[in-house]
Amino acid sequence: MTTLKLAISESQIQECVGRLAQLIQVDYQDQPLLVVGALNGSFVFLADLIRRMNLPIQVDFIRLSSYDESEKSSGTVRLHHGVRTSVAGKNVLVVEDIVDTGLTAQFIRGYFEDQGAATVRICSLLDKPVRRRTSVTVDYVGFEVPDEFLVGYGLDYNQQYRELRALYSLEEEIDGS
């Protein structure tokens, strides 16, 4: 049986989103920003984050996969949809739900640098540094988390749990114990 254990509460998340939005706003100081969400996991975080920032922004999305239907990373990042907005000369802020191995973040950084972005920064709600397999820089991090599989607030397991307002660790219980 699968059970959910509260890891980060709704109020902790909202406080953190406000803090990140403030940092980003100060760093960009009224400069236009192209905010790009990495689908699917980032859509809830991105929606909250942009509504806490007072900056001229454009929003677009990119869809990639490195995970299959299990909890395991396949190790290969595939681009399914790139952005439609032109990127050359723009400040790009990539929004991710979680940086795990860092392969996705590294791929996205290269993708925008190759398209001539003026700057590329990455903002991730969650960071699992213990799992990192690259040296990619994550510029804004909400919470550092241990090596547990988390769901809620946009993050899924088999496309479930994205709608939850808080973050939970997924625990497998052995029946009869």
> What is the set of active-site residues?
100
Least spacing, CB of residue 38 vs ligand IMP, in Å = 6
Does residue 103 bind ligand IMP (CB under 6 A)?
yes
Under rule CB under 6 A, residue 36 binds ligand IMP: no
Position among 17, 35, 94, 150 found at the interface with ligand IMP (CB under 6 A): 150
From candidates 8, 93, 94, 101, binder to ligand IMP by CB under 6 A? 101
Consecutive H or E run containing 150: strand 150-151
CA nearest neighbour of 4 among 163, 175, 169:
169
User: Of 91 and 101, which has the nearer Cβ to ligand IMP?
Assistant: 101
User: Which residues are registered as beta bridge partners of 99?
Assistant: 127
Q: Give the Cα separation of 26 and 23 in Å (integer).
A: 5
| Residue 67: strand pairing partners | 73
Beta strands at 91-99 and 33-39: parallel, antiparallel or unpaired: parallel
What are the CA-CA distances from residue 169 to residues 2, 61, 67, 106, 115 (Å)?
Answer: 10, 26, 18, 25, 37
- Of the pair 55, 145, the CB lying nearest ligand IMP is at 145
Binding pattern for the stretch 67-86 against ligand IMP, x by CB under 6 A and - elsewhere: x-----x-------------
- Note whether 96 binds ligand IMP by CB under 6 A: yes
The binding site for ligand IMP (CB under 6 A) comprises 38, 41, 66-67, 73, 96-105, 149-151, 155
